[in-house]
Amino acid sequence: MRTAVGQFTASPDWKENLASCQDLVAGARRADADLLVLPEGVLARFTEDRHRIREVAQSLDGPFVSALAEATEGGTTTVVVGIHEPSEDGRVFNTLVALRDGRLVARYRKLHLYDAFGDQESAHVRPADEAPVLLDVAGTRVGLMTCYDIRFPELARLLVDQGAEVLALPAAWVRGPAKERHWEVMIAARAMENTCWVAASGECGPRNTGNSMIVDPLGNVRARLTATPGLTWADAEPEATARARAVLPVLANRRFAVSPAILASGGPR
């Protein structure tokens, strides 16, 4: 499965961000990518004015998703990208959409909210209470995660237990002391402990790190971007996954199961 990750710097204008996404979709299609992973929350850039998350949110049949879905028409590339979607309690959901051939084929609402390092995502974003989401891309099972989710290894394991060979991770990873190191280590850790591929896309710019990458099941970086906008890809071969699981059978050797039950204490509701 040819897997691509793309990154850009979001602007305050969703139409400019749509154009950036459309350009990356066009590049991925020219590269015959089966999967393109784009960043989290791309409707607008948020710095100190976090309340604008509520103002710019769009429904899944709104103009952003509809136009980006149109950019996938007639092709086989599946595009995964994050937006903010209105919810019933006045906050928004941090939602991933998967689009292919003009249609919405999957949706994942973020489970773990970034109430850490002085930030409080839950002030404006509502956490989901629903099962992890997988989709089929070119015969490969792909699990969906968003940004802060990478710090919770049980979510990745649940997706792999359900058959995921690739984890798609849109993000807007905020800069900070050792944060860049955290990003790299945890992507590699989730790949190695589950012997799966991780395709992680991070928004770049003054607030966020970029550093999108594709990591194989033994933790090797197969493709990487740095701090500037761009697109890169690698072939996530099922043969490489099978070889890794044969020589490093951690999934077969483990002694504990992971429950899909959601804890009531998982942060503000």
Q: Which residues, other chains included, contact 72 with Cβ-Cβ below 8 Å and sequence gap of 6+?
A: 25, 78, 79, 99, 100, 101, 102
Q: Which residues contact 124 (CB under 8 A, 6 or more apart)?
A: 50, 51, 53, 54, 91, 92
160: how many CB neighbours lie within 10 A of its CB?
A: 22
> pLDDT tens, position by position, for the chain (269 residues)?
999 999 999 999 999 999 999 999 999 999 999 999 999 999 998 766 777 899 999 999 999 999 999 999 999 999 999 999 999 999 999 999 999 999 999 999 999 999 999 999 999 999 999 889 999 999 999 999 999 999 999 999 999 999 999 999 999 999 999 999 999 999 999 999 999 999 999 999 999 999 999 999 999 999 999 999 999 999 999 999 999 999 999 999 999 999 999 887 555 66
Report helix, strand and coil shares of the chain as percent, to nearest 5.
Answer: 30, 25, 45
Q: Which residues have a catalytic role annotated?
A: 40, 110, 147
Q: Is the pTM above the cut of 0.85?
A: yes
Fill in the amino acid letter for 181: R
CA distance 208 to 85: 21
Domains of the chain, residue spans = 2-244
In this predicted model, what pLDDT tens digit does every residue of 189-225 receive, in sequence order?
999 999 999 999 999 999 999 999 999 999 999 999 9
Closest alpha carbon to 225 in 235, 241, 210, 206: 210
* DSSP string covering 119-181: --GGGTBPPP-S---EEEETTEEEEE--GGGGG-HHHHHHHHHTT-SEEEEEE--B--TTHHH
Angle at which helix 153-161 crosses helix 179-194, to 10 degrees, equals 30
CATH number of the domain located at residue range(s) 2-244 in this protein: 3.60.110.10
Dihedral sign from CA coordinates of 121, 126, 130, 136? negative
Q: In what order do the strands lie in the sheet with 78-86?
A: 103-109, 92-100, 78-86, 35-37, 2-7, 230-235
CB 205 within 8 A of CB 225: no
Strands 78-86 and 92-100: antiparallel
* Cross-strand pairs, 137: 140
Residue 56 tokens read as: 């710019």
Distance in angstroms (rounded) separating the CA atoms of residues 39 and 68:
14
In the block, residue with structure tokens 């995964």: 80
